[in-house]
Each structure stands twice: as structure tokens, then as C-alpha cells.
Amino acid sequence: MYVERKPNVDNSLVFKVWPFYLIYLNIIDVIFAITSSVPFYFLKKKINKIGLYDHKYKKFNRYSFKSLW
């Protein structure tokens, strides 16, 4: 949804020039999504390295959890 004129609000999110704050919020969302997905990427690499996940049967190997401690 695109609004043609600036809304009459007193909000801290409405900064700079009117249409650009929507673009800035989208950029912030993308940065947040990337930074929140990085730990899961490294966790997946660690799980694959230790051998916690059995790809043949597509389930976690319950005996491998001892290697985490």
C-alpha cells in the first residue's frame, strides 16, 4: 500500500523525507533478517560436523547428543 501524502502523525518512525522512511524501514528489516539468520547457519554447520543429524533416516541421532557435553 502506498500513501501519496504524508500522514498527519507525530511518530518517531516518520523521519527524513516522507516516502523514503518506508524504504529505510524495509532496509532495516532486511538487515535484521540477515543478522538473525546467521546464528542458525552456524548451528546447522556445527550439527552436521558433529554428526547429530542422520541424513539417511532424516532424524536426529539421540546417541550423538553426548558429544555436545
pLDDT tens digits, 7-47:
666 666 666 666 677 788 888 999 999 999 999 888 888 87
The DSSP 8-state label assigned to residue 8 in this structure reads -
Residue 50 has pLDDT above 80, yes or no: no
Model pLDDT, residue 43: 83
Strands 59-60 and 53-54: antiparallel
Q: What CA–CA distance (Å, rounded) separates 30 from 51?
A: 32
Q: Among residues 16, 15, 19, which one has the least CA distance to residue 3?
A: 19
